[in-house]
Amino acid sequence: NAGVTQTPKFQVLKTGQSMTLQCAQDMNHNSMYWYRQDPGMGLRLIYYSASEGTTDKGEVPNGYNVSRLNKREFSLRLESAAPSQTSVYFCASSGGKVGATPLHFGNGTRLTVT
Amino acid sequence: SQKIEQNSEALNIQEGKTATLTCNYTNYSPAYLQWYRQDPGRGPVFLLLIRENEKEKRKERLKVTFDTTLKQSLFHITASQPADSATYLCAPGSGNTGKLIFGQGTTLQVKP
């Protein structure tokens, strides 16, 4: 029973490099989310997908793109990484109405941009 | 804009005492409020959800209150244990938007 799986767990990039963070859930949830967590800033929503085929911006979308590949998978892409994107990235999913149902989180991807 | 405030200073208490954490919000009216626990190096884990028409909700040693007039939720852990040491996050939600916004979290340290 894996829940939400994120890959990779750790990544170091140089400024200007690109990469894609992968997220998959096995709970048949409709909604998926990408958050970043920085010291003193808490969890901030980057993008979310309320259902397969839809994506919307959250609080801090600049510098990121997302793809809802299918119901299970939601990827986050950094086209040209910047040091300000050094953070811990969490993917989450939920099975019902946002706010009214719990989010299930992965264990994060720790990204360092030098 | 919507704002969520949790005590940024760590809360240190003695084992066996009751820990009380506060979540205040402004500029919106959530229909639900969720609490999560986060351990170092791990993702947040859901603990409790309370609805606006529920003044109080309990689960084992946990109790949550929701005061929509004060725009505040209190999270209590009774008979606290060192294993309760973690960061606790609140997340008020309306249920009408596609997103859930979190507070910064309060770190609880329970000393034996």
Please tell me if residue B46 touches chain A, with a CB cutoff of 8 Å.
yes
Which residues of chain A lie closer than 8 angstroms to B59, CB-CB? none
Whether B90 and B7 have beta carbons less than 8 Å apart is answered as: no
Q: Read off the pLDDT band of A1 (50, 70, 90).
A: low
Average pLDDT, chain B: 92
Q: Yes or no: say if B5 and B72 are a contact pair by the CB < 8 Å rule.
A: no
The pLDDT, as a whole number, for residue A44 is 93
H/E element holding A74?
Answer: strand A74-78
Q: Tell me if B105 and A56 make a contact (CB, 8 A cut-off).
A: no
Distance CA A103, CA A4 (A): 10
Q: Which of B30, B49, B104 sits opposite A102 (nearest CB)?
A: B49
The shortest CB-CB distance from A99 to any of B32, B41, B89 is to B32
Residues of A in contact with B96 (CB under 8 A): 99
The answer to whether B99 contacts A35, with C-beta atoms less than 8 Å apart, is no
Please tell me the predicted confidence (pLDDT) of residue A99.
80
pLDDT (tens digit, 9 = 90+) per residue, A49-70?
988 989 999 989 999 999 998 9
Q: What pLDDT digit, counting tens, does each position of B87-101 carry?
A: 999 999 876 666 788
Mean model confidence pLDDT for chain A: 94
**Low-confidence winner among A19-28, A75-84, A88-97, B13-22 (lowest mean pLDDT):** A88-97
Average pLDDT over residues A23-28: 97
